Structure 1
Amino acid sequence: MKSIFTFLFICLVLPIGYSQSTSPNTQPIDSNLVKLDEVVLSANAILGSKFQAKNRTGSAYYVSEPELLKFNYTDVNRVLRSVPGVTLVEEDGFGLRPNISLRGTSPERSAKITLMEDGVLIAPAPYSAPAAYYFPSVARMQAVEILKGSSQVQYGPFTTGGAINMISSEIPDTFSASLLASYGSYNSGQLHAKLGDSKERFGYNIEYLNFNSDGFKDLDNGGNTGFDKNDLVAKFRINSAPEKKLNQILDLKFQYSDEDSNETYVGLTDQDFARTPFRRYAGSQIDNMVNDHIQVAATYILDFSDHFHITTTAYYNGFSRNWYKLDAVTLNGDRRAIANILQDPIENADYYNVVAGNQNEASDALLVKANNRQ
């Protein structure tokens, strides 16, 4: 329904305004003409456009597709940095695990705000453990909607700070294919491919995104400190014939992503940070986080008229991850936590030297913990 109204609006309204305002042989615009409001019908959006965001009760902001394409960011922190009322705390430098705060809420893992993709709750276990390290890739999004204030209460479960809804690439009105590739510092690369089309009764869009980097931190043994992330999304639409009085639309969506990050929680002592802030100790060389996410969603729209339609969405989200990270050091049967070692490297000199790779010890001196969640 959205594509039909958008097409009519562009074809019928815009040419009239264009000819009257630009042609030197036409008369001035009649003051009695009625200005039509923009019509946006979408099951996956909470705002739909900058027009709706401007006229919405409360505080709303709409990051449009041209804005996202302008800089082609893969880091959601850079996308949201221009939005008023949003506070960001950097963590990994690539936006893989953002910390977002709206209206003063705690930013830790964005756990106190409502996160959605296409109107569906997207945080892992949103009612119990929303901070479990998954965030959609903003590089494949068509728009980002931010809603704060009283009108965001309906989107829960977190109704204090606000809601962020990311709209993934929609099925195009006509045949469309694109390929985007980029390469940059630290061997960072991106490959983004899309293919889609619409017919009278059927439409589809298939999208693949990969972005990766060797990382900007310097591991003592010269290892990789970056990541590799893949994202695949397929959308299919079946709709009734345009001449039917009762319009029906069925949208099917499949999304899968996986990530392999050579990331660590091990920090640096104050002295080492002052000298080389991007250093990583040799003891953290096997620290690694892997995760995968799958979503299957079906949206059924029953459109009775321009003013009344029913939308029903059934979805499944599955997420699993395991983070192997250096947790402690054991010497001569004495176990000491990493945090305590780095907080006082003089008192724990032998343990610090093992973490920093300054001396060799038994192979079981470094204790690695696996945080496995599903």
Structure 2
Amino acid sequence: MTRNDTFYDTLPRVGSFAALAKPDVYTPLPNDWTIGAADIVGSTDQIAKGRYKTVNMVGAAVISSQINASGGKTFPYVFGGDGATFACDTEMAALSARALGVMKRWASEEFGLDLRVAQVPVADIRAAGRDVRVARFRASDSVDYGMFSGGGISWAESEMKRGRFALSAAPAGAIPDLTGLSCRWNNAKSRNGSILSVVIEPELPGPRDAFAAVASQVIALADTLERGGHPLPPDGPGVSWPPPGLDLDAHVSRGAGSLRKRKIQLLFGNLIAWLFFKSGVKAGAFDPAHYARMVSNNADFRKFDDGLKMTLDCDPDTIATIRSLLERAERDGILRFGLFEQAEAMMTCFVPSVTQDNHIHLVDGASGGYAQAAARLKSVSR
């Protein structure tokens, strides 16, 4: 392996989320790496039809399919609610492209969704005057998430939406490897007023330090909330039976098999899991109480992907303060923003093993949070 192939493994894991507002925390990606991107066309319309869980699941499936295709290699990725963005080295690029093509085909055939997919060379991003820099945020001792800065991720997504760098769908009937992907937990109701979805993007070109200062202020306001505004209870959002995401889980995990048969299998399997969580009884190396705590610890409820995205359990006064701060910064030409309030948060999970702590939990507002907030951002963009 070259150093570029092991680049991400060598990055330090940053323990303070507030530190990630500072541009100097990030390291430039190697020039021969590639950005992969995917998003659902018309996601806001799909959410308006009540398909927000499906939109989230397909967005998370992009990440799951890439993790499974990578053969255990670590790489940075960001969940955006209705899609995902990630970076991969030269060794992984071909496998990554195939996995994206399969996802495009599967999203269409399984759910009738048009999933845009693209690969954008980092070298092309830099030639366009943007950069891609990355950091690793340590959510817990067992899980970290990639964070991006430099404007290159936003540029790549914009170019994808213009039809550039597009990848074709795989042949009919292609099925992604989504082993470990599920959405079996209950939604988490707000305990403080509202689940606030926050999307903030810097105005470019613009002073990086000014955006960093405002992002730091928003994070500081979030830190005044209980548990920093974490939208999930400390012991996880709880489970019920039958699980609320049963139908989606069956679509995701059935492969080429019968949907009805898979639902029956899942009903039985989830009944057993529900009994363990309700009773607290351990089963070998599986400790349900510990697992539920790690669900909350590992959640990705805040992230940087050129801008700042957060899913916060927020009281009305703090929401008003955040809004006022962002409106002032927008008038000053520092940023653009979108906020969206809803009653609950939801998450989609990727679980390699229930006996290890490296399971990841991708959080969004339960009424289409990030996509809805981003739509409001677009409506006021200059």
Structure 1 length-normalised TM:
0.21
Higher relative contact order (CA 8 A, sep 6+): 2
Structure ranking higher in strand proportion: 1
Structure ranking higher in helix proportion: 2
Larger radius of gyration: 1
